[in-house]
Amino acid sequence: MNVDALGEEDIEIPVQRLAGTEDLPLPRYMTERAAGMDVHAAVTEDTVVPPGGRQLIPTGLKVAVPPGHEAEIRPRSGLAVRHGVTVLNSPGTIDADYRGEIGILLINHGTEPFVVKRGERIAQMVVRRVGRVRWREAPALDETGRGEGGFGHTRR
């Protein structure tokens, strides 16, 4: 792990390409200050996600996320605004002990079929630190201004 002048942490993560995906780029940051890396589709042929439909799209990648971290899979805003396509289980979590292929579950909320082409940028990946929780049962919780106000509580 390296820390740069801004205090940002660099994490080295082992990645394995599946056979037949050597032509695809690894996830990468598209701008200098991007939080997420674009992830590419490893489909072998054009794959259609029909309106209202969902499709698991392969990436051809396996990763070894270090303990104390997770990789989150998030939608790409451009696909959402232009096509109504997003990641169904967003954010998806790649746990530190998962070693299978990363798949991206796309859903098409748009009105037209969406065609996923090989190498297309279909999602973003953000690697984050995670903490482990130790529950401590308590007879009561501290009081807050919100209290038990739930969904829509702050709507005026």
Q: Mind listing the pLDDT tens digit for each residue in 16-33?
A: 999 999 999 999 999 999
**Contact criterion met (CB below 8 Å) for 34 and 113:** no
Residue 104 has phi, psi (to 5 degrees) of -115, 120
The average pLDDT across 98-103 equals 98
The average pLDDT across 104-124 equals 98
Judged against a pLDDT cut of 60, whether residue 5 lies above it is answered with no
- The whole-number pLDDT of residue 127 equals 97
Residue carrying structure tokens 């997003």: 86
- The whole-number pLDDT of residue 4 equals 53
- Band of pLDDT at residue 44, cut at 50, 70 and 90: very high
- The whole-number pLDDT of residue 16 equals 98
Domain 8-129, classified CATH 2.70.40.10, yes or no: yes
**Domain boundaries, given as residue ranges, for the chain:** 8-129
Mean pLDDT, all residues of the chain = 93
Using CA atoms, how far residue 66 sits from 45, 97, 98, 150, in Å, is 33, 8, 10, 35
Residue 74 has phi, psi (to 5 degrees) of -130, 160
- Band of pLDDT at residue 145, cut at 50, 70 and 90: confident
Judged against a pLDDT cut of 60, whether residue 36 lies above it is answered with yes
The average pLDDT across 116-123 equals 98
The pTM score is 0.86
